[in-house]
Structure 1
Amino acid sequence: MAQNTSDAHILVSMTYVSRATQEISAKEISEILQQAQHNNAANAITGMLVFKDNIFLQTIEGSRARINRLLYSLIADQRHNDLQVLETRELAHREWSKWSMNYVSPTQDNAAIYLKYSTTADFNPYLLSFESIRGLMRDLSR
């Protein structure tokens, strides 16, 4: 797919949250992750995905045009709904450059990390500020 050369120099990050339309198994998450890693690598997109309690929290980074195209495909994806873009911004450099798509699931072992940014131990990024979401994702990825 041709990319406008002026856009190739505009690096952006977009973070969104959405809800799975049905119960998602570990196998399905693995398939989603593999597909995202393959597609993202082909499109110079990097990012991080957090999934728990049928809620997706994801940050993706890449050229503005490719991130916009990916957003349109995410909106059309019937596996989830209630997609809310939490933040979009231009970047000087990538935060997730090591991964075409890193994946973390909040667990009992890392529950204290979620509690650090939330008023409850329940995973619900819809209730968090973007600053808290950013800190949560950074801490979970360590």
Structure 2
Amino acid sequence: MEDAHILMSMTYASRANPDVSANDFNEILQQAQVNNATNGITGMLTFNKDYFLQTIEGPRAQINRLLYSLIADPRHHDLQVIETRELKHRAWSKWSMNYASPTEKNAAIYLKYSTTIDFNPYLLSAEAAYNLMNELSDQHD
């Protein structure tokens, strides 16, 4: 493949379908970890009961294939790509999918980048979304 050497990241937001349960979410996370490891994808995911915010990184062709799968996934809707960028290095090379949820411990991080008291990734700039994911990830390293 011509673009196999081109590393990129993509950050997107989506709305969780109301019937997504904690078990469904755990299944999503486990499935992402297995599939991403197989496909050379790494990334960071945050989720509250309403929204997903995810940054994935890997070969451009793999990111595009994954995007089509994500769009077709019935567990969420209104997927919006916030940003894509070419990378020299992965930010989450050791995580097939790192995960952070809003907690009391990290609430200040969410508030630092949010425009409202409630986490809504659709209101984040591309820079704020990327910085939020990096800072949340730093807590897990």
Normalised by the length of structure 1, the TM-score is 0.92
Contact 2:115-2:124 at 8 Å conserved across structures: no
Q: Does 1:55 align with 2:59?
A: no
1:36 corresponds to which of 32, 35, 46: 32
Q: CA deviation at 1:72?
A: 0.5
Contact 2:10-2:83 at 8 Å conserved across structures: yes
Provide the residue aligned with 1:136 in structure 2: 132
1:8-28 Cα shifts (integer Å, max 9, x gaps): 100010000000122322221
Q: CA deviation at 1:100?
A: 0.3
1:12 is paired with a residue whose SS is strand
Root mean square deviation of aligned Cα: 1.1
2:93 corresponds to which of 97, 103, 123: 97
Task: Could you list the structure 1 runs, at least 4 aligned residues long, displaced by more than 3 angstroms after superposition.
Answer: none
Provide the residue aligned with 2:41 in structure 1: 45
Instruction: For 1:110 and 1:37, locate their aligned partners in 2 and report how far apart those are by CA, in whole Å.
Output: 23
- Aligned identity (percent) is 72
Instruction: For 1:77 and 1:32, locate their aligned partners in 2 and report how far apart those are by CA, in whole Å.
Output: 10
1:24 corresponds to which of 6, 20, 24: 20
Q: CA deviation at 1:67?
A: 0.5
Instruction: For 1:113 and 1:93, locate their aligned partners in 2 and report how far apart those are by CA, in whole Å.
Output: 24
Q: Which amino acid aligns with 1:42?
A: T
Instruction: For 2:84 and 2:46, locate their aligned partners in 1 and report how far apart those are by CA, in whole Å.
Output: 17
Q: CA deviation at 1:121?
A: 2.4
Normalised by the length of structure 2, the TM-score is 0.93
2:4 is paired with a residue whose SS is helix
Instruction: For 2:4 and 2:129, locate their aligned partners in 1 and report how far apart those are by CA, in whole Å.
Output: 27
Q: CA deviation at 1:89?
A: 0.9
How many residue pairs were aligned?
A: 138
Q: Which amino acid aligns with 2:126?
A: F
Gaps of 5+ in 2: none
Gaps of 5+ in 1: none
